[in-house]
Amino acid sequence: MSATSEAIQAAPASRRAKDTAFRVALMACLGLSILLLGVLLYDVVKDGAGHLDADFISSFTSISADKAGAQAAIWGTIWLMGICAVFIVPVGVATAIYLEEYADNDRWYNRLIEVNIQNLAAVPSVVYGILGLAFLVRGPLALGNTVLAGGLTLGLLVLPVVIIAGREAIRAVPPSIREGSMALGATQWQTIWRQVLPASIPGIATGVILALSRAIGETAPLIVVGAATVIAFNPDGLDSQFTALPIQIFDWINRASNDVNNYKPLAAAAILLLMIMLILMNSVAIWLRNRYEQKW
C-alpha cells in the first residue's frame, strides 16, 4: 500500500473521539428539551384529557367544578383573535409596504421608525397591557373593559411581528419583477398591488398566523386591561365584557390551590384546548408556506 492510501485509512483516535463527544453533547441537549416537553405534555394530558369533552366546550364556568366548562373563554378567545387579525393585517401590511417600497432610508425618521419597530417586538407584553389600559380602556378612547380593547391591545403587541414578517416577504420579491412591471407602464402602486403583494402573500399570511399564535397565549396584558374571570355569557358585540382561555386557565389554577372544589383537571383540559388551537394555527401556517411559496 502506498503512503497515501494508508494516510486516508483512519483519522487519529483523538480527533475521532472529539468528534463523537461533540455529537453526543449535541444530542444530549436536544434530548433534554424534548424530555421536558414530553413530561409537561404527559402531565397535562394525564390530568386534562378526561375532561376535554363536549360538555367542557359547551358549558360556562361554574362554582361547582363538576359542571364548569370553558365556553365563554373559547368564544372570548375567538373574538379577540378576530379583532386582532382585522387590526393587524391592514395596518401591518401597509406599514411593511411603506417601509420597503416608499421609505427613503437616508431620512433619519425612517431609520428611527425601523429601529423602533425592532425594539417594540421585544417589549414585555405587560407593558402593552398598561398601554392598552391607559389609552384604550381609559384615556382618550375610553373603550372600557371590552373585548374590543382587549383585541386591540393584543394587536398592538403583535403588530411588530407582522410588520417584520411582511417586510421580509416583500423584500423576497426580486427587483426584476418590479422592473418588468414598471417597464410596461404600470405605476408604482399598480406594481405593488398586482405584482409584489400577490407574490408575497404566503409570507405575509405565515407572519400573521404566527403573530396570532403569540397573541392567543398572552395572559398578562389581558389581566391588565381587565378581562373578566367569572362570566357566564359569550361576547355579543365589540363592547361586550369578555374572558379568554389563558385567563380562564389562570383563574382555575388559582382556585385549585385554595378551593375545596378540584379545578386542577379543568385547567389542564383548557391548556390542552389552547395547545390544540395553537397546533392547528401553526399547521395552517406551514401548509400555506409550503403550498404557495414562490421559488425564484
Residues of the shown chain interacting with another protein in the complex, contacts defined by CB under 8 A: 104, 106, 174, 176-187, 190, 194-195, 198-199, 294-295
Taking the least distance from each CB to another protein, the nearer of 78 and 103 is 103
Q: How far is the CB of 145 from another protein (least distance, A)?
A: 47
Cell numbers describing residue 59: 358549558
Taking the least distance from each CB to another protein, the nearer of 236 and 293 is 293
Q: How far is the CB of 202 from another protein (least distance, A)?
A: 11
Distance between CA atoms of 176 and 79, rounded to whole angstroms? 41
Taking the least distance from each CB to another protein, the nearer of 6 and 106 is 106
Q: How far is the CB of 184 from another protein (least distance, A)?
A: 4
Taking the least distance from each CB to another protein, the nearer of 31 and 198 is 198
Distance between CA atoms of 146 and 153, rounded to whole angstroms? 11
Using the CB atoms, write b or e for 150-180: b if 16+ within 10 Å: bbbbbbbbbbbbbbbbbbbbbbebeeeebee
Taking the least distance from each CB to another protein, the nearer of 61 and 200 is 200
Taking the least distance from each CB to another protein, the nearer of 199 and 273 is 199
Residue found by looking up cell 401591518 in the block:
92
Q: How far is the CB of 61 from another protein (least distance, A)?
A: 50
Surface-to-core class of residue 44, CB atoms within 10 Å of its CB (0-12 exposed, 13-18 middle, 19+ buried) = middle
Taking the least distance from each CB to another protein, the nearer of 22 and 189 is 189
Distance between CA atoms of 97 and 211, rounded to whole angstroms? 18
Distance between CA atoms of 99 and 213, rounded to whole angstroms? 25
Which of 87, 168, 156 lies closest to 121, judged by CA? 156
Number of H helices, E strands in the chain: 13, 0
Is there a contact between 158 and 214 (Cβ–Cβ < 8 Å)?
yes
Tally of CB atoms within 10 A around 225: 28
